[in-house]
Amino acid sequence: MSGDLPEDAPDRLPRWERERFDRLLDRVMASLPERLHQLLEEAPLIVDDCPSARLLEEMGLDPELDDLCGLYSGIPLTERRHDASGELPETIHVFRRGIIDEAGGWDRCVEEDGRTIGGDDEVLRQIRITILHEIGHHFGLSEEDLAALGYE
């Protein structure tokens, strides 16, 4: 399930961190309804430490400043044509580093405004949000639709 980063790449997470993340990912996957597991047969979930700098640049993001939690690649159900062929297969990517950063890291702390961020529970929550967000794109939901549902 890991990506194309060599073992000594600077953006590659240490083994302990990947294993910790993957244990939480397993918990999220076990909690998803069977229908979503069936969907992931059609659009497999690929887990990488982080996206390539090239991918970020193609998306108009700055590899030095921007994180990415997930990415749906494919044609949403609402845009498919019955006569389409030769399309690349659908995939859902989740990126460990972006999710951990979005969650606030592994250490739980309280922000100045009183919000608690970080820790395993927050990483777990962010993994779930990211997977559901990307599955939402499969069903044709826009970023605005997903934000309204709380999956931003």
CATH code for the part of the protein at 15-148? 3.30.2010.20
Q: pTM for the complete prediction?
A: 0.81
Domain ranges of the chain: 15-148
pLDDT score, position 136: 82
3-state secondary structure the chain: CCCCCCCCCCCCCCHHHHHHHHHHHHHHHHHCCHHHHHHHHHCCEEEECCCCHHHHHHCCCCCCCCCCCEEEECCCHHHCCCCCCCCCCCEEEEEHHHHHHHHCCCCCEECCCCCEECCHHHHHHHHHHHHHHHHHHHCCCCHHHHHHCCCC
Residue-wise pLDDT for 25-65, tens only, equals 999 999 988 888 887 787 888 999 999 888 888 989 888 88
* 137 pLDDT above the threshold of 90: no
Q: pLDDT tens digits for 67-122?
A: 899 998 876 666 656 555 556 678 899 999 999 999 999 999 998 999 889 999 99
The residue with greater pLDDT, 19 or 152, is 19
